[in-house]
A and B are shown apart, each in its own frame.
Chain A
């Protein structure tokens, strides 16, 4: 399991102990429900719930089941964090080739510049 998935699981576990999530009512099996509930990772976004000032009582350590009313939005981890991307590496390689081309010859330089343009284009259109 990737680190990210482990994180999500732990996150869910710790939060569950504080604030049990009620799965949406539907007729799917409990196993699927359990799997579904992992999708809702819980991250408190700043400024979206004044009550999170009470967060002194909340932490990653398992706590007593104290129900705290929070007006916070539940957000999926993957939506918040930056996505991995190949284009920084591609652009770096292109720049290195172009730079090397300054002394290795205009053809190499030209290839490098072309690759730079390609990398920048794909970088810009990539979903952040």
Chain B
């Protein structure tokens, strides 16, 4: 074979040697890439970076609240920090990380060479990065958004959180523009996913045979496409109110603050299902592999995801039970919220049936997946409790809600993200993550999460409202707050272990091979990391577990079941 290299700046061709083009340099390759795998990695790295930012904000909050009459943060700073904690975690951690997994894995799972619109894929990532940088830059001006992550009007209309200052500050503007940029990113990503999943599946892979993670990404994409317009409109109206002199949310002249709430939650509720459905998908991939069984009730899990998607548009006002809606409306939303709990329950039972009579292997990915079921169940139960309207009157806007959101988002989505990373890291990098460190991480996270968030149920019942920068010492809330703060630092240690594990495994990880877990879906039928073209030849699929069929042809699924 002729000699290959050469030097840093040149490359060989058949006719000789030439300077590398920009896209062939290391930096240029990342900046101009349209390869779904590289874009997926960029999403993941960005998402995990913002996870650390949001996590530090959380630790600041918990330090301030560890004791009554805390003096760690002034109320103005506290209000910026808690707003940015929520905003960063939701828009800059969960969505990018889930998109990152989707981007990397979905084309591989469906046997495609790339997404349908590779340049738009890249565009989506860069919008996310700039949107994130733009929003975080608000701290430099000391005008980080400070109206809570849902920016209720008219508070967000007025100023830096106070009705009597003459000049509007830009806090809310950073939020509004930032989320619009991020919305553009999500919309372009969603369009891409929908077209890719509908059009680029391998021969033989009907919709009913595609992996559940792909199903959930599809539903998530539809939800994003239908929900983001509400947020964009609401943000547009608020920007107009703030800068042009309109009065959409200003009652003195005929507007209505509740308009913001209805518009926001029409986005906000589907948004939370956007945050959890891909996590459901990942768990549905991981549990079967480490129980050595197929997923139980594939059709039911898939369609319950679709049902959740549809129903998520009918429940938004359960975030508004205390605003004084008429009783009929309250009853309607209580009913729709009750209905949405049913498909969720169906999923949990199907997952439990998957591991039943299986052969459970306790890798770190499996530990996180099992932990997900345990914690998400709690989140689902306290969520169903919040749907009980009279009870909600007492505990809404209190720490009970904070407990709920963190059990579903941390105990749910974040655990699934950790599971997914431990599961797919070998595929992304060709190296295994260290299982021992991973197990320590799991226990720190699991214990930390419960110690932090379980007491918040009780704080809510004890009457502690949310979003308070401090509290007096004689309310009876002191010990529980201290407990939650200690738990937060335990969680912090877990996250540090996680980051250490990633860095360490990249350098010293054991070689993984193509299929370290003996898995079932097509993404494992590639090298680790996959070649740029993914598959040497596009496979033909005959069942829901095409790689399993290929490895075990005698007991292949297509021989025993008709799908």
Contacts and interface: CB of A to CB of B under 8 A. Distances in A.
A85 B177 contact: no
B350 interface: no
Contacts of A72: 537
B330 interface: no
A125 interface: no
B31 A46 contact: no
B14 A35 contact: yes
B23 A84 contact: yes
B540 A53 contact: yes
B123 A91 contact: yes
A56 interface: yes
A1 B4 contact: yes
Interface stretch (B86-94, B111-119, B293-301): B111-119
Interface stretch (B212-220, B449-457, B526-534): B526-534
A55 to B, nearest CB: 6
Contacts of A93: 126, 130
Contacts of B532: 3-4, 7, 77, 81
A97 to B, nearest CB: 9
Contacts of A36: 14
B239 A102 contact: yes
A38 B4 CA distance: 12
A84 B118 CA distance: 9
Interface in B25-39: 28-29, 31-35
Which of the listed residues A11, A35, A39 has the most CB atoms from chain B within 10 Å of its own CB? A35
Given A7-B532, A85-B34, A96 B540 contact: no
Nearest to B181: A99
Contact of B181 (A11, A96, A123): A96
Contacts of B20: 2
Contacts of A52: 537
Contacts of B2: 31, 34-35
B134 interface: yes
B168 to A, nearest CB: 10
Contacts of B180: 99
A107 to B, nearest CB: 15
Interface string A112-128: 00000000000100100
Given A82-B114, A93-B126, A100-B134, A47 B177 contact: no
A7 B202 contact: no
A88 B538 contact: no
Interface string B433-463: 0000000000000000000000000000000
B1 A34 contact: yes
A46 B123 contact: no
A56 B551 CA distance: 10
B122 interface: yes
Contacts of B131: 96
B127 interface: yes
B177 A103 contact: yes
A86 B122 CA distance: 9
Interface in A1-54: 1-5, 7, 9-11, 14, 31-32, 34-36, 38-39, 42-47, 52-53
Contacts of B121: 88
A91 to B, nearest CB: 6
Contacts of A14: 536
B304 interface: no
Interface string B1-34: 1101110000110100000101110001101111
B126 A89 contact: yes
Contact of A88 (B126, B203, B540, B550): B126
A83 interface: yes
Given A35-B2, A88-B126, A80 B113 contact: yes
B184 interface: yes
Contacts of B32: 84-86, 89
Contacts of B28: 84
Nearest to B24: A2
A120 to B, nearest CB: 11
Nearest to B115: A82
A124 B14 CA distance: 30
Contacts of A96: 127, 130-131, 134, 181
Contacts of A84: 23, 28-29, 32-35
A60 B11 CA distance: 26
A91 B184 CA distance: 12
15 contacts: A7-B532, A7-B533, A10-B531, A14-B536, A39-B14, A43-B533, A46-B537, A46-B540, A56-B550, A82-B34, A85-B32, A88-B126, A95-B184, A102-B239, A123-B119
**Can you list the 4 inter-chain pairs with the closest CB atoms, starting with the nearest?**
A44-B537, A92-B126, A82-B118, A88-B123
Interface of B: 1-2, 4-6, 11-12, 14, 20, 22-24, 28-29, 31-35, 113-114, 118-123, 125-127, 129-131, 134, 170, 173, 177, 180-181, 184, 202-203, 239, 243, 527, 531-533, 536-540, 550, 553
Given A86-B31, A95-B181, 8 more contacts: A14-B536, A56-B550, A72-B537, A84-B34, A92-B130, A95-B127, A95-B130, A96-B131
